[in-house]
Structures are given as structure tokens and as C-alpha cells.
Amino acid sequence: MDPHPEPDQRGLLGGTRFPGARHQRTGRGAHDVLDFLAPPDDGPRWAVIRLAREAEGVNVIEGIEIAVDREAAVVTAREPLTVLSSAFVRGGLTTARAIVNLHVRKNISEVETDGLLPRFADRRGIRGPWVGLLTSAWTEKGVVAEASGFGLTALAVVTVGLSNRIAAGETPVAAWAPSTINSIVVVDGAPEAAALVNAAMTITEVKTALLAAVDLRCDDGRLASGTSTDAVVVAATGRGPRCRFGGPISDFGWVVARAAREALDAGIRRWIEEHP
């Protein structure tokens, strides 16, 4: 039995649209906050947009749009993105016009997932090629955050559920289950492939550090490093400065980490508040 059952009610929520980081426009039912934060020492001024879970049709990078609702969190791009991911469908290094993070019920078997993502994409009219993720976390509670600096902009979209927590290298092997912390970061930049790999590591470092900060524990008392099938996606437009590195103190990695930290921190804390 799940020791942290989800609430019974899920509702369709209103949405909002952001045409850019400098122009804030609020839609029906939305709660939007634009925070300009002090820069780090010797760093650029940077901004973070925090959006409530009802964020829909968000657009803060030219040509990129996000829709978040009870069925999925979907990132679409006008032009193909270079994508590195651990996605359930078309994972690895590829190009895509969309990233789909689809909600599925808890305890679904891998066999039952056959065709779910293609059918959803067809029904929504999502233009291919796309990469697809699955999550049992409620996608309408997804968090979106944006960070910019060094001539780069990163947009993070995360869904968080923490019931299925594990300690990597300690928790025994188990059957596949849908991912519960899915992290998607899109960057308006031109990273090399190695920088994308490094950025995926950076996002994972951020996630694990945030879980440690709230002292999240597995059932056996060990400090949790994540959940059993977390997924990560890093995508880039190919515009702007060429980036060789994606580690946490590189220009590219710093912006990725900042956006991921804002989104993951909000998502993790919300889940904990809702599951005392």
C-alpha cells in the first residue's frame, strides 16, 4: 500500500500565457510571480519566473511553448530541438519538435503503456518528431521556472511525486514503474553534445541536493537520492553562443541548474506539504 496516497480530487485549472520574461500578463485563474533576484558575486543579473501549477500556454523562449494540464506537460518548439534524454520513447541523443510528459495511473505495467504516448500525441495534434516520458505524478501540479544569464535562457518544467523513493546503489532492483520526478530543461543556446550530457548530470545533482536538504528518507531510513525511475531531458535551440561545458559552474550549466533548482525546489516542497 502507498504510505503517501494522493488526494482524491483532481480538477481542470485555468491557465496563463507569458510572451516573454519582460512582459507579464495574467490569465483567468492564474497566480503568477515575476521575481528579479540579486546576482551572485561577479555574475550577471538574472531573473526567475515562477508559475503556479495552472500555468498553460507559457512562452518565455522565442519559439517554445509549454502547456500543463491534468493529462500532460508538453513542451513544443517551432524549430527542431537537439535533445538528450532518458525518455521512455525516443530517449538518447536526437532531435524533436515536442517533449511530452504524460500522466499515467500508479502501478501501471510496462505492457499497458504500449501506444499511450503516440495516441495522446495524435489526439492533441502534436507535431513530430517528439520524445515521450511517463509519470504517475499529477502533471497539473507541474512547476515551470525560467532563469537567464550569460546570454542564455533556460526553461525548466518538472513534475514531482515522492512516494517511490530510493537510495541509488542501496535499494534493491525492482520492476519498472512510471517516473515520478521528471525534469525537462530547454535552453536557448548551442551546447555541444558533451555539454548536454554534463547538464543532465548537473540537473541530477540539483535534484539529489534538494532531497537531502529536506531530509527525505526511504522506508528503510536511508537518505533518498531520488525515486525509482526518475527521468531527465535537456534540450537546446541551437541559437546563441556555442557552449562546450555543462557542469554547474559553466555558463550553460549554471543557467540550467538555476532553472532546475527553482522548479524542483517548489515541486518537492509542495509534495511534502501535501503529504505530511
What Rg, from alpha-carbon coordinates, does the chain have? 17
For residue 124, the SS3 value is helix
**For cell 515551470, what's the residue?**
144
Asked if residues 195 and 243 have their Cβ atoms less than 8 Å apart, the reply is yes
pLDDT in tens, 202-220: 999 999 999 999 999 998 9
Domains and CATH numbers, the chain: 47-274 (3.60.70)
Q: Does 29 have pLDDT greater than 90?
A: no
Please state, in angstroms and rounded to a whole number, the distance separating the CA atoms of residues 213 and 136.
Answer: 24
pLDDT at 196 over 50: yes
Region of poorest pLDDT, from 56-60, 124-128, 214-218: 56-60
In the beta sheet, which residues pair with residue 130? 98
Residue with cell 510572451: 19
pLDDT average, residue stretch 92-118: 90
Q: Give pTM, 2 decimals.
A: 0.81
